[in-house]
């Protein structure tokens, strides 16, 4: 870990067990943690203007190096003043390194989980991985593209994010020990290359997070945690792997092994995980920020988040049963959708595939996630996080501690 307040400063304000409430100070303002991070994969939180994401209370969004590299290209974004200028977002930005996307294409089975691609990898499925980096075809026009640790860092420098992630190999969750060991070692060599490039040429005020890999193997996780912790990074991200938490028990086990191995003082980002129970589990283990496509993606399928553990916190508004239902999506939810519209109307719009439905639900879902973490923060500060977590997991209450 390096400690350079010019790039990033993490203040832990309160602790409750391993959970903590803090503030990450970046070049574009503070991020109060624990925090959920909405995806702005391709330079927009789908369907929302930047100003609206501010109104929803978010202080940090996640842009994607792979997608923005493919289109519109980092030069065009740099010419607009970086991703902040391009999308007119004045708060903090973290950028994914592109590793997850490239290796999802390479490993095939995870290709259709590639975040934000919306296609099943017809183009771009040919990926050649070498020690140097990854060569692949652009899903836009088939042109040959190349990402290496250095290229990823230089793209992220052009994007001008406040936090860059190192370029890593995203090991499939269930790869065998030997593959995972080799892959983890390469990830560490790539980490060194990323940091060397960034030291020489990276933006002065851009922080860099390392990524802990190691699959499900405790010794490899331990090795990876140690390597990342000893490197000159400003924070640590944890990659769970391509299954994106489908096997929740195994994921929880890996997290429980990994989290205590990491330096207390580091801000910690759990990559790609943001379902309600997983997020609360991560907070309990001392993780701080969580990005996830689910809340925004669900809105495009007519699914609203709600205090309903038995349906994985999801209400499918395309079901017929909401006809005539005069309740808001969630009673007591402060979002404009719940203030103004009932389930009957949202459900009608969803079934009619009206754009307005996507909008109404994405505003609700992002409010839901924001309220969930804001109240988790308050509970940690009050020393009642365990009660809070239980109340949420039992569906007793939407958010209030």
Is the CB of 109 or the CB of 118 nearer to a copy of itself? Answer: 118
Is the CB of 270 or the CB of 349 nearer to a copy of itself? Answer: 349
The region of 13-21, 91-99, 345-353, 366-374 touching a copy of itself under the rule CB under 8 A is 345-353
Q: Supply the minimum distance, in Å, between the C-beta of residue 324 and a copy of itself.
A: 6
| Under rule CB under 8 A, residue 4 binds a copy of itself | no
CA distances from 62 to 259, 285, 346 (A): 22, 22, 28
| Under rule CB under 8 A, residue 46 binds a copy of itself | yes
How big is the chain, counted in residues?
A: 401
29, 30, 57, 72: which one contacts a copy of itself (CB under 8 A)? 72
Q: Look up 291 and say whether it is catalytic.
A: yes
Binding to a copy of itself by CB under 8 A, coded x per residue (else -) over 296-325, reads: ---------------------------xx-
| Under rule CB under 8 A, residue 271 binds a copy of itself | no
* SS3 call for 134: strand
| Under rule CB under 8 A, residue 122 binds a copy of itself | no
The region of 47-55, 197-205, 220-228, 256-264 touching a copy of itself under the rule CB under 8 A is 47-55
Residue with tokens 């923005």: 68
Q: Look up 96 and say whether it is catalytic.
A: yes
Q: Contact at 8 Å (CB) between 117 and 101?
A: yes
* Chain center to CA of 15: 23
The region of 197-205, 209-217, 279-287, 351-359 touching a copy of itself under the rule CB under 8 A is 351-359
Within residues 217-256, the interface with a copy of itself by CB under 8 A covers none
Is the CB of 144 or the CB of 353 nearer to a copy of itself? Answer: 353
Q: Which helix (H) or strand (E) holds 12?
A: strand 9-16
| Under rule CB under 8 A, residue 359 binds a copy of itself | yes
Of the candidates 141, 288, 291, 342, the residue annotated as catalytic is: 291
| Under rule CB under 8 A, residue 358 binds a copy of itself | yes
Among 36, 35, 32, CA closest to 11: 32
| Under rule CB under 8 A, residue 44 binds a copy of itself | yes
The DSSP bridge pattern shows strands 9-16 and 19-26 to be: antiparallel
DSSP string for residues in 311-329: GTTEEETTSGGGTT--S-S
Within residues 163-192, the interface with a copy of itself by CB under 8 A covers none
Two tokens, residue 390:
């239980």
How far is Cα 242 from Cα 345, in angstroms, rounded to an integer?
A: 37
Within residues 48-67, the interface with a copy of itself by CB under 8 A covers 48-51
Q: Supply the minimum distance, in Å, between the C-beta of residue 345 and a copy of itself.
A: 6
User: Cβ contacts of residue 99 below 8 Å, gap of 6+?
Assistant: 152, 165, 167, 168, 169, 170, 211
User: Cβ contacts of residue 252 below 8 Å, gap of 6+?
Assistant: 278, 281
How far is Cα 397 from Cα 144, in angstroms, rounded to an integer?
A: 51
How far is Cα 150 from Cα 171, in angstroms, rounded to an integer?
A: 20
Q: What are residue 164's DSSP bridge partners?
A: 95, 208
Q: Supply the minimum distance, in Å, between the C-beta of residue 70 and a copy of itself.
A: 10
The region of 28-36, 74-82, 126-134, 379-387 touching a copy of itself under the rule CB under 8 A is 74-82
Q: What is the largest CA-CA distance in the chain?
A: 62
Is the CB of 68 or the CB of 376 nearer to a copy of itself? Answer: 68
Angle 333-335-93 from CA coordinates, rounded to 5°: 120
Is the CB of 55 or the CB of 264 nearer to a copy of itself? Answer: 55
143, 256, 265, 352: which one contacts a copy of itself (CB under 8 A)? 352
Q: Supply the minimum distance, in Å, between the C-beta of residue 352 and a copy of itself.
A: 6
Is the CB of 40 or the CB of 238 nearer to a copy of itself? Answer: 40
What is the dihedral sign for C-alpha 297, 290, 330, 53?
negative
What one-character DSSP code corresponds to residue 71? T
Is the CB of 70 or the CB of 238 nearer to a copy of itself? Answer: 70
* SS3 call for 165: strand
Of the candidates 16, 96, 168, 234, the residue annotated as catalytic is: 96
So which residues are the catalytic ones? 96, 291
The binding site for a copy of itself (CB under 8 A) comprises 42-51, 71-72, 76, 79-80, 86-88, 323-324, 326, 336-337, 340-342, 344-345, 348-349, 351-352, 354-356, 358-360
């Amino acid at each position: 870990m390096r400690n350079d307040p010019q790039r990033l400063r993490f203040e832990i304000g309160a602790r409750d067990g391993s959970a903590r409430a803090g503030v990450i100070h970046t070049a574009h303002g503070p991020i109060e943690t624990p925090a959920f991070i909405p995806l702005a994969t391709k330079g927009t939180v789908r369907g929302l203007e930047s100003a609206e994401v501010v109104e929803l209370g978010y202080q940090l969004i996640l842009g994607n190096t792979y997608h923005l590299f493919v289109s519109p290209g980092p030069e065009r974004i740099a010419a607009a003043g970086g991703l902040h200028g391009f999308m007119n977002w004045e708060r903090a930005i973290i950028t994914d390194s592109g590793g997850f996307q490239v290796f999802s294409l390479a490993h095939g089975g995870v290709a259709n989980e590639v975040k934000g691609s919306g296609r099943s990898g017809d183009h771009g499925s040919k990926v050649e991985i070498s020690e140097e980096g990854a060569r692949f075809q652009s899903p836009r026009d088939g042109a040959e593209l190349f990402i290496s640790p250095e290229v990823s860092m230089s793209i992220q420098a052009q994007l001008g994010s406040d936090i860059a992630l190192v370029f890593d190999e995203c090991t499939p969750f269930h790869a065998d020990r030997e593959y995972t060991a080799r892959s983890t070692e390469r990830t560490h060599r790539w980490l060194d290359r990323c940091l060397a490039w960034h030291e020489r040429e990276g933006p002065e005020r851009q922080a860099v997070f390392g990524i802990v890999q190691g699959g499900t193997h405790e010794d490899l996780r331990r090795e990876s945690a140690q390597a990342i912790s000893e490197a000159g990074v400003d924070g640590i991200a944890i990659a769970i792997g391509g299954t994106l938490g489908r096997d929740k028990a195994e994921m929880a086990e890996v997290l429980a092994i990994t989290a205590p191995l990491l330096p207390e003082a580091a801000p910690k980002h759990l990559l790609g995980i943001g379902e309600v129970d997983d997020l609360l589990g991560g907070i309990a283990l001392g993780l701080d920020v969580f990005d996830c496509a689910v809340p925004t993606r669900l809105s495009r399928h007519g699914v609203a988040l709600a205090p309903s553990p038995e349906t994985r916190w999801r209400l499918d508004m395309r079901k017929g049963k909401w006809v005539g239902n005069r309740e808001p999506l969630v009673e007591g939810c402060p979002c404009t959708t719940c203030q103004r519209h009932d389930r009957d109307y949202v459900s009608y719009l969803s079934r009619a595939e009206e754009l307005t439905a996507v909008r109404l639900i994405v505003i609700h879902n992002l409010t839901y996630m924001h309220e969930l973490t804001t109240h988790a923060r308050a509970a940690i500060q009050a020393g009642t996080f365990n009660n809070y977590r239980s109340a949420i997991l039992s569906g007793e209450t939407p958010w209030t501690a």
